A and B are shown apart, each in its own frame.
Chain A
Amino acid sequence: MEKKTPLYETHVALGGKMVPFAGYLLPVQYGAGVIGEHMAVRQKCGLFDVSHMGEFVLEGEGAEDFLNLVLTNDFCGMEDGQARYSPMCNENGGVVDDLIVYKEKDGRYMIVVNASNRAKDFAFMNRYLGESEKLTDISDQVAQLALQGPAAETVLRKLTAEDQIPQKYYHAVFDGQIEGITCVISRTGYTGEDGFELYCHAQDASRLWELVMKAGEEEGILPCGLGARDTLRLEAGMPLYGHELSDDISPREAGLGIFVKFKTKENFVGRKAMEEAGTPRRKRVGLKVTGRGIIREEAPIFAEGRQIGVSTSGTHCPYLGYPAAMALIEKEYAEPGTRVTAQVRGREVEAEVVKLPFYKRA
């Protein structure tokens, strides 16, 4: 039985088409449809319920050391309110999850993880937790709304004071106030646009949703579902756990090597295995479909008459107007311009390797 987010009734009242996802009932789309919602986020703004995401609080003197051990990125030198993305690897160098760490202040962090990995991550982190640190899963008390799009800041300005709005990307205001609702106001997102993620108490979620929707009316805000969330992140070339990342895919293969700090850190989980594996033999690439068809996940990819990899996600990109996919392929074929074919339902669909992301905001 799927759980409901605090906004379930709101979605149903708005005509959201509810589907099970990562253990929750969430809207895949509303009346405007995936394409309409996608375009709203690219051109105006959209509001997503992402309350299914998991949130942990990490406290204690050794918190920074713990993060540096269990995650591949380097967490030294963070300012209060700063956020940092990181893969979390297992001892084999595969990805347990990818997540965002917020530093509230020295010795106190919030970690945001994928809904489907929440229990796995919590257990995994606990294996490395020292005496002086405490990890608490607060997911059930927290709702998350994502306000995304070029008009997001204009909308937020109507609801809160200037100093409550983080000016830099990957920064957050921890004790933010929006019309009396306490929330973390974070300048982050998963759409390739400017935007904010708002973390509030579950009981405030529906009021915060109403406030943002009302404030966004003039800007043409639309409620957006999981469908648009997926097409937006794909167009922006962002990896999704379970597709581009898994327990068997290393961050270096997934093109996330920049978040693996071999040089600045001595030791972290997965380091040895990644070093032993050496330069990855396969690489995550973007594929632009040049033939007819849509390459979706798990399509075998061929070049020079043999299979060189497999697609990990793919769809029609509403803003770009053509189908695109991401794939893990042998690195010899990863050069942009390389022609490949995908096998899709018994047919061959031609595609070309292109640089990621497919879409980058101006």
Chain B
Amino acid sequence: MNFPEELKYTDSHEWVKMLDEQTALIGLTEYAQSELGDLVFVNLPEVDTELSAGEAMADVESVKAVSDVYSPVTGRVEEINEELLDHPEFINETPYDSWLVKAADIADTVNLLTAQEYEALVAKE
């Protein structure tokens, strides 16, 4: 299982890549995709949607179930990864390249974990 050092993580299994102080890419961790199984559907928010830290911003569906994706930040959706709408399986194949949302105007975040902290959390699950 891979936990890239340069990313931050949430306890709800999103990863955050800070591009600058107010902008970040958000995706699902390798652990999250492996637990969810084959993803077949992704619902993304619209551009300019307000994001609230800790609240659902998107959902992903496997053949088995639907799961919420929580926003790690308070801010605004600047861009969505439209490619995923047709290819949700990219999240399974390359979870750390398959960002869902690019957030801007970030004013706040949930408690973000380092790679080591997140790896320890996953080890306990």
Binding site for B on A (CB under 8 A): 28-29, 33-36, 38, 227, 231, 292-294, 296, 315-316, 318, 323, 345
Contacts and interface: CB of A to CB of B under 8 A. Distances in A.
Main secondary structure of the interface of B (DSSP, over half): strand
A227 B40 CA distance: 14
B59 A345 contact: yes
Interface of B: 37-38, 40-41, 43, 59, 61-66
Which residue, of A33, A296, A316, has the highest number of chain B Cβ atoms within 10 A? Answer: A316
Given A28-B64, A34-B63, A318-B63, A294 B40 contact: yes
B37 A323 contact: no
A231 to B, nearest CB: 6
A296 B62 contact: no
A294 B59 contact: no
B37 A316 contact: no
Nearest to B64: A227
26 contacts: A28-B64, A33-B37, A33-B38, A34-B37, A34-B38, A34-B62, A34-B63, A34-B64, A35-B38, A35-B40, A36-B38, A38-B63, A227-B37, A227-B63, A227-B64, A231-B63, A293-B41, A315-B64, A316-B40, A316-B41, A316-B61, A318-B63, A323-B40, A323-B41, A345-B59, A345-B66
Nearest to B89: A35
Contacts of B43: 292-293
A41 to B, nearest CB: 14
A216 to B, nearest CB: 22
Between B37, B62, B63, B66, the greatest number of chain A beta carbons within 10 A of the residue's beta carbon is seen for B63
Contacts of B59: 345
A35 B66 contact: no
Nearest to B56: A345
A29 B41 contact: no
A318 B65 CA distance: 14
Contacts of A36: 38
Contacts of A293: 41, 43
Nearest to B62: A34
Nearest to A35: B38
Given A292-B41, A294-B40, A345-B66, 18 more contacts: A29-B37, A33-B37, A33-B38, A34-B62, A34-B63, A34-B64, A35-B38, A35-B40, A38-B63, A227-B64, A231-B63, A293-B43, A294-B41, A294-B61, A294-B66, A316-B41, A316-B63, A323-B40
A326 to B, nearest CB: 15
A346 to B, nearest CB: 11
Contacts of B63: 34-35, 38, 227, 231, 315-316, 318
The 10 tightest CB contacts between A and B, nearest first, are: A316-B40, A35-B38, A34-B63, A33-B38, A294-B61, A316-B63, A315-B63, A231-B63, A294-B41, A34-B38
Contacts of B37: 29, 33-34, 227
A34 B63 CA distance: 7
A323 B88 CA distance: 14
Contacts of A29: 37
Counting chain B CB atoms within 10 Å of each CB, which of A28, A227, A292, A294 scores highest? A294
Contacts of A294: 40-41, 61, 66
Nearest to B41: A294
A231 B62 CA distance: 11
B41 A296 contact: no
A29 B63 CA distance: 11
